[in-house]
Amino acid sequence: MVGAMNSNVRRGITVLVALVSSVAGWGKVIYVDTDAPGANDGTIWENAYNFLQDALTDANSSEKPAEIRVGQGVYTPDSNSAVPSGTGDRAATFQLLNNVSLTGGYAGYGGAEPDARDVNEYETILSGDLDGNDVELGEAWLWWHQGREPSRIDNSYHVVTGSYTDSSAKLAGFTITSGVT
């Protein structure tokens, strides 16, 4: 009987250790939503950062691994809480970070279930259209000329970059648009 109880205790401890290890592996979760009205400290959906750059700064200085969950909306790389309307800096980019998972497609603040994730229903756009003035190009062949299209002359050079990262830098659930090469 004692041997059976010790075996059950060992199993219980093993399960507990596995559970704690998997929870610890999740790391810090940081929330981003353009409509969040709260403290804008990234702790919950209501207090989500309004700008993705602020969340990336937080994740960069936080213990890893970290996950950034981004609610539906449009985010530009030149905007942050210090310069909400953007700097116009075409070299600004969303720089991926090692041991940070950047995930879009969440319903976010105001959604019936903020953690609901559907990349089609809750489109999350990383846009290089810094001035918000891009003209829609109707013909597919015109995309080749997009860099010469006058409304795109002020767009970001690179909307997202992964320079100096490894496979632990993750990006999923975004529409990336309006960069210029």
Q: Is residue 113 part of a domain?
A: yes
| Confidence band of 19 (pLDDT split at 50, 70, 90) | very low
Cα separation, 17 vs 25, whole angstroms? 12
Phi-psi region of 84 (alpha: psi -120 to 50; beta: other; left: phi over 0): alpha
Q: Is residue 20 part of a domain?
A: no
Its domain, for residue 34, covers: 28-177
Task: Map residue 21 onto helix, strand or coil.
Answer: helix
Q: Is residue 92 part of a domain?
A: yes
Q: Is residue 7 part of a domain?
A: no
Q: Over 80: is that where the pLDDT of 80 sits? A: yes
Q: Which residue in 69, 114, 84, 95 sits closest to 157, CA to CA? A: 95
Give residue 85's pLDDT.
95
| Confidence band of 138 (pLDDT split at 50, 70, 90) | low
Number of structural domains (the chain) is: 1
Q: Is residue 66 part of a domain?
A: yes
Q: Is residue 76 part of a domain?
A: yes
Q: What percent of the chain shows pLDDT beyond 70?
A: 77
Beta-carbon contacts of residue 74 (< 8 Å; ≥ 6 apart) = 34, 125, 127
Q: Is residue 1 part of a domain?
A: no
Whether cis (ω within 30° of 0) applies to the bond prior to 37 is no
Q: For 148-161, how does the pLDDT look when each residue is reduced to its tens digit (9 = 90+)?
A: 666 778 899 999 99
pTM: 0.81
Q: Is residue 83 part of a domain?
A: yes
Q: Which residue in 47, 35, 66 sits closest to 57, CA to CA? A: 66
Give residue 152's pLDDT.
75
Cα separation, 134 vs 96, whole angstroms? 25
Mean pLDDT of the chain: 84
